[in-house]
């Protein structure tokens, strides 16, 4: 649905040239909920604004639904943008217009007849659960309700793509979840392709199917969410993952454990149905080792279970080797955090 090819965006300033996007290429499939995560200043907003040409790329291509946006005239671009909705952290609603009038706004600009606008606005109010707020003004709404208006307005022209720039960053955790659930429902109901720009891994964990990690203007890794979580390639991805699945052991405990003989510390990670397997019992029955559970967690990665278990395994070198062989045969991801003395 969206192909970004060798995209570069440079800004000139008195301090010199800033490269905000450095040769980024991504392929976002139709129906994906694609997260783009990075620290402040990484280039996320610039990248998402290049996707509808709110920012004009310095070079490279942005192809949406088969159309290279960088090649279009202003008139063609206005037309193409009707296929790309956008929502923002600070909503940007028109304060002097009611909820219904805000949602109607893009349709008025597109020259849709009044009768049709009224029908479409009703549908959209229903879609985002705001039927009772039709005549309210933005100042009378909560943050979550404002974002629902933002979503309805963005979907007014029936776009195939929705760009979300930190759409939940101004909301409390509970409201964030309700907005993410709404976006997931819309994605499933309408087959909409969603691009989520965020600095919060919990957003990616909740709803994204794919993720790209952007760092200092470059994509450092990308792929299906499950692959990136189970096998992160970059330190920055590991840092983001640890914000939702913290699994570091306290340093003083690690130091104490390092004095144990015939002991090693391993981290085991598992996805999906593996999460319900009695791994420890099977391991102890099959191999002649002892295990000390140091940390364990189990949570959802979208709708898939994702678990982590950190163990101290106790046994002689041959027994520990046997334990590794067993864990490998169960197709679990095993990482040795501290080797045996
Ligand atoms: N209009 C501009 N003129 C000059 N430099 C800019 C402009 N917009 C962004 N930049 C610079 O480009 C880089 C990327 O900025 P961008 O806003 O895309 O990052 P971000 O990841 O969205 O950060 P944040 O989460 O803080 O918004 C930064 O170094 C920023 O200072």
Average pLDDT over residues 91-115: 95
Strand ranges for 167-303 from DSSP E: 193-198, 210-215, 218-224, 263-271, 290-301
**CA dist., res. 319 & res. 152, Å (int):** 60
| Percentage of the chain modeled with pLDDT above 70 | 98
Q: Can you give the CATH number for the domain in which 311 is found? A: 3.30.70.260
Q: Which residues pair with 16 in a beta bridge?
A: 13
Please indicate, yes or no, if residue 113 is contained in any of the structural domains: yes
Strands lying side by side in the sheet with 84-88: 84-88, 161-165, 193-198, 33-37, 210-215, 218-224
Task: Output the CA 92–ligand 1 centroid distance in Å.
Answer: 19
In this prediction the pTM is 0.89
The ligand 1 atom at the shortest distance from the C-alpha of residue 165 is: 22
**pLDDT at res. 275:** 66
Q: Can you give the CATH number for the domain in which 130 is found? A: 3.40.50.300
Asked if 216 and 278 sit in the same domain, the reply is no
Please indicate, yes or no, if residue 241 is contained in any of the structural domains: no
- Model confidence pLDDT, tens digit, residues 232-289: 999 999 999 989 887 778 888 888 877 888 889 999 888 876 666 778 888 888 888 9
Q: pLDDT class for 303, splitting at 50, 70, 90?
A: confident
Q: Choose which residue among 16, 19, 44 to substitute to test ligand 1 binding: the one with the highest number of ligand atoms within 8 A of its C-beta.
A: 44
The ligand 1 atom at the shortest distance from the C-alpha of residue 12 is: 4
Helix, strand, coil: what percent of the chain each, to 5? 40, 30, 30
Asked if 156 and 292 sit in the same domain, the reply is no
Output the residue whose Cα is nearest ligand 1's atom 10. Answer: 20
**pLDDT at res. 68:** 95
Asked if 216 and 260 sit in the same domain, the reply is no
Q: Tokens 């008139």 belong to which residue?
A: 75
If one counts the domains in the chain, the total is 2
Task: Output the CA 89–ligand 1 centroid distance in Å.
Answer: 15
**CA dist., res. 273 & res. 338, Å (int):** 28
- Token code pair at residue 125: 């109010």
Q: Choose which residue among 12, 37, 38, 46 to substitute to test ligand 1 binding: the one with the highest number of ligand atoms within 8 A of its C-beta.
A: 46
Task: Output the CA 196–ligand 1 centroid distance in Å.
Answer: 17
- Model confidence pLDDT, tens digit, residues 133-146: 999 999 999 999 99
């Amino acid at each position: 649905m969206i192909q970004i090819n060798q995209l570069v965006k440079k800004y000139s300033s008195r301090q010199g040239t800033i490269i905000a996007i450095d040769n980024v290429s991504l392929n976002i499939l139709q129906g994906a909920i694609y997260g783009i995560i990075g620290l402040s200043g990484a280039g996320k907003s610039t990248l998402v604004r290049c996707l509808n040409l709110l920012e004009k790329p310095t070079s490279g291509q942005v192809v949406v639904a088969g159309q290279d946006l960088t090649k279009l005239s202003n008139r063609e671009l206005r037309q193409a943008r009707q296929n790309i909705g956008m929502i923002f952290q600070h909503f940007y609603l028109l304060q002097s217009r009611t909820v219904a009038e805000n949602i109607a706004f893009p349709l008025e600009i597109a020259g849709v007849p009044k009768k049709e606008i009224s029908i479409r606005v009703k549908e959209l109010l229903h879609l985002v659960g705001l039927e009772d707020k039709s005549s309210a003004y933005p100042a009378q709404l909560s943050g979550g309700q404002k974002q629902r208006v933002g979503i309805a307005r963005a979907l007014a022209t029936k776009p195939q793509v929705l760009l979300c720039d930190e759409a939940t960053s101004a909301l409390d955790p509970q409201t964030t979840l309700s907005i993410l659930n709404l976006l997931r429902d819309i994605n499933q109901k309408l087959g909409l392709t969603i691009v989520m720009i965020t600095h919060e891994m919990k957003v990616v964990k909740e709803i994204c199917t794919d993720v790209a990690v952007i760092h200092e203007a470059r994509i450092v890794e990308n792929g299906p969410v499950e692959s990136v979580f189970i096998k992160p390639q970059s330190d920055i991805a590991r840092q983001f993952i640890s914000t939702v699945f913290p699994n570091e052991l306290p340093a003083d405990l690690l130091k104490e454990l390092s004095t144990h003989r015939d002991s090693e510390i391993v981290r085991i990670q598992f996805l999906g149905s593996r999460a319900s397997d009695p791994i420890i019992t099977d391991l102890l029955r099959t191999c002649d080792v002892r295990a000390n559970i140091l940390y364990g967690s189990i949570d959802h990665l979208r709708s898939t279970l994702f678990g982590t278990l950190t163990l101290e395994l106790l046994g002689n070198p041959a027994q520990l080797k046997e334990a590794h062989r067993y864990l490998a045969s169960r197709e679990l991801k095993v990482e040795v955090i501290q080797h045996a003395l």
